[in-house]
Amino acid sequence: MSYIDQYLNEVNHTLQRLSQDQIAQIIHILRQARSERRQIFLIGNGGSAATASHFANDLIKSTVAAGKPRMKVIPLTDNIPTMLAYANDCGYETIFAEPLDALAAPGDVLVAFSGSGRSPNVLRALDLARQRGLTSIGFTGRDGGQMPERCDVCLIVPCQPMEQIEDIHVVLAHLIYSAIRDDAEV
């Protein structure tokens, strides 16, 4: 078997093991946030930050539909001056929690991406979300780290290689926004 075959087979096998019920739950939460005009915040580090930004773009632009409210999505990963100010003055673990504390209201949604489930800044934002009455969605990998107990729904990608976890997070983001866009039955 070639390296290419092996990699693609591993990703496909992991995709087949995901909980479709959890994916449907996430779609339901985001649809409800849309209909209730709630804000959806997205966070992540590194490749997960790129996924959060990409997902925000898809949710904001690609779900626009006549007769439906637009989605209110804020990627906290994209305001670099604010992130750096908090990192410099208050510590890196505060870069998402502090802006979230300023912007979020009870009933809003936090979507957190962390391949390891152990990023202190992501965990701190999830803790704040719970304290403030937000619904929290987690996308993680491996064993889930410390995210599952902090999330209302936590989708764990059950594999070890970070690149495959991140690949699958992007696939899930595309699946979720397209189900919302197409008003698909899940």
pLDDT digits (tens, 9 = 90+) for 81-121: 999 999 999 999 999 999 999 999 999 999 999 999 999 99
Mean per-residue pLDDT for 134-144?
98
Q: How far apart are CA 117 and CA 126, in angstroms?
A: 11
Q: What is the DSSP letter of 69?
A: P
CATH architecture of 3-181: 3-Layer(aba) Sandwich (3.40)
Other Cβ atoms within 10 Å of 5 Cβ, number: 9
Tens digits of residue pLDDT in 63-90? 999 999 999 999 999 999 999 999 999 9
Domains of the chain, by residue range, sit at 3-181
Residue 160: pLDDT band by 50, 70, 90 thresholds? very high
Tens digits of residue pLDDT in 23-65? 999 999 999 999 999 999 999 999 999 999 999 999 999 999 9
pLDDT at position 132, please? 98
pLDDT at position 128, please? 98
pLDDT at position 179, please? 98
Other Cβ atoms within 10 Å of 18 Cβ, number: 17
Q: How far apart are CA 45 and CA 61, in angstroms?
A: 23
pLDDT at position 145, please? 98
pLDDT at position 60, please? 97
Contact predicate 83/14, CB 8 Å? no
